[in-house]
Amino acid sequence: MLDSDARELPRFIHENAFSEFNVPSSIKFDRIEVSNILDPNYVGLRDVLTLWGPLLVESRSAAIVGYFMNWPTVQQDGHASWTKDSDVMENLVQRVMEKEKVRSKISFQREPQ
């Protein structure tokens, strides 16, 4: 019934294809976890929001949860450790720790230039 494209699942739900499993076509979710199909080389952000968004309940706390696993490889300078400025990563972690009031003895070892 299902092929490997995650774009099809919302349509199958809407068309009541899972009624034999007691999943009504009117089902709504508080959270939908989409893993890394947000990546543009899979489904992409726009299609995930367009196709899966209607399956969320109308609530301020309803959410689609996922991540961009491949973002650092497709975004220029997308990975903090690829920066030319060796202090960037240490600065970012320090800012997060200060904001979240986290204490740590993390030491950053700099690679020889």
C-alpha distance from residue 98 to each of 65, 83, 88, 106 (Å): 26, 22, 15, 13
Burial state string for 86-103 with b = 16 or more CB within 10 A and e = fewer than 16: eeebeeeeeeeeeeeeee
Local confidence pLDDT in tens for the 113 residues of the chain = 445 688 999 999 999 999 999 999 999 999 999 999 999 888 999 999 999 999 999 999 999 999 988 877 777 766 666 556 667 777 877 887 787 665 555 555 555 55
Predicted TM-score (pTM) of this structure: 0.63
Q: Phi/psi class of residue 77: alpha, beta or left (left: φ > 0; alpha: ψ in -120 to 50)?
A: left
- Each domain of the chain, given as residue ranges in start order, spans 1-75, 76-113
80 touches 47 (CB < 8 A)? no
pLDDT at 103: 55
Provide the token pair at 109.
């070892």
84 touches 66 (CB < 8 A)? no
